[in-house]
């Protein structure tokens, strides 16, 4: 069997649709998806097998990254450093840009990335044919910079094979890097954490999800049930009250929604215990961020 394998960094501005694309390619709910921008905070490996036209069995290891953005808060700097690290580690990059975005995001990416890359224009199902053609024409001025220009829709599964074919074409022949049926090398407790975070984005107002995080205190994995004990961290006591809600209505919604998604992903029953704590300025303190698993790659230049 002829095989290829390689790491592919999936890069884009916040809300370009990176996680939606990966979940569609995997046919599984692993990456955090939200209609709110900047939901993804950490690097996640998602493994997609693909047989290309040349007969190669490719193992494409996508590095799902936080959206490219610049803010002074230390948490946001950690997120940006994760995206930059992925670009450095990858053999190939895919820059995903919404069909509705201007060209500034891609121009910023060009200033940061030294690796060969594919430019993918997403969400084409939300634009007219004329608008899509116009956007593709605008990107043609950078034709010497990218390997290929691929319009696609993850939601409608349009042109996804074309993207995978293009990626496989530019990967080097190699033995597979992971076991055949593995979709991610993430631990289940980390996937569960992201599912709880996603529920915060689903049920809470704009400010709170961005000023909150989740810590798994205890994770017990049994044959028929997983038991998860976690706490939600917010910055203010007023936010804690909102997360809990009157008579606990909000925390019950968040917990039920998260538990059902966990059971779907883990394919077994889940017991979930959620607590809420207020910790002032956690997103600005390096020690607090390290406890939550964030790594800040300092610039040593």
Task: Please give the annotated binding residues, written as ranges.
Answer: 12-19, 64-68, 122-125
* Whole-number Å distance between alpha carbons of 10 and 17: 10
Residues whose CB is less than 8 angstroms from the CB of residue 81 and which lie 6 or more positions away in sequence, other chains included:
295, 296, 297
Per the structure block, which two tokens stand in for 203?
């049920």
Neighbours of 59 (CB within 10 A): 23
DSSP 155: T
Task: Give CA 154 to chain center in angstroms.
Answer: 14
Provide the pairing of β-strand 149-151 with 57-64: unpaired
Q: How far is CA 267 from CA 29, 46, 120, 188, in A?
A: 12, 18, 33, 11
Which residues are annotated binding-site positions for GTP? 12-19, 64-68, 122-125
Instruction: Compute φ and ψ for 213, nearest 5 degrees.
Output: -155, 180
Provide the pairing of β-strand 149-151 with 117-122: parallel
Q: 18 and 25 in contact (C-beta within 8 Å)?
A: no
112: left (phi over 0), alpha (psi -120 to 50) or beta: alpha
Neighbours of 172 (CB within 10 A): 9
* Whole-number Å distance between alpha carbons of 19 and 22: 5
Beta strands in the chain (DSSP E): 3-12, 44-51, 57-64, 92-98, 117-122, 149-151, 213-221, 225-234, 269-278
């Amino acid at each position: 069997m002829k095989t290829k394998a390689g790491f592919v960094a999936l890069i884009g501005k916040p809300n370009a649709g990176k996680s939606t694309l990966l979940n569609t390619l995997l046919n599984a709910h692993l990456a955090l998806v939200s209609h709110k921008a900047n939901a993804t905070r950490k690097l996640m490996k998602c493994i997609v097998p693909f047989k290309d036209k040349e007969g190669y069995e490719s193992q494409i290891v996508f590095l799902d990254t936080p959206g490219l953005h610049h803010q002074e808060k230390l948490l946001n700097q950690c997120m940006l450093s994760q995206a930059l690290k992925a670009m450095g580690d990858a053999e190939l990059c895919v820059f995903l840009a919404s069909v509705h975005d201007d060209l500034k995001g891609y121009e910023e990416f060009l200033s940061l990335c030294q690796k060969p890359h594919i430019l993918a224009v997403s969400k084409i199902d939300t634009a007219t044919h004329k608008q899509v053609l116009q956007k593709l024409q605008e990107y043609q001025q950078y034709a010497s910079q990218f390997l290929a220009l691929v319009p696609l829709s993850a939601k409608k599964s349009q042109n996804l094979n074309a993207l995978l074919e293009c990626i496989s074409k530019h990967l080097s022949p190699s033995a597979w890097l992971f076991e055949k049926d593995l979709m991610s090398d993430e631990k289940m407790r980390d996937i569960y954490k992201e599912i709880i975070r996603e529920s915060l984005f689903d049920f809470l107002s704009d400010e709170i999800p961005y000023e909150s995080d989740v810590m798994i205190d205890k994770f017990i994995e049994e044959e028929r049930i997983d038991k998860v004990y976690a706490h939600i961290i917010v910055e203010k006591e007023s936010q804690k009250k909102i997360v809990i809600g009157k008579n606990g209505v909000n925390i019950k919604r968040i917990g039920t929604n998260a538990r059902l998604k966990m059971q779907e992903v883990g394919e077994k029953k889940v017991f979930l215990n959620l607590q809420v704590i207020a910790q002032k300025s956690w997103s600005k303190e390096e020690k607090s961020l390290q406890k939550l698993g964030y790594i800040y790659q300092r610039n040593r230049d």
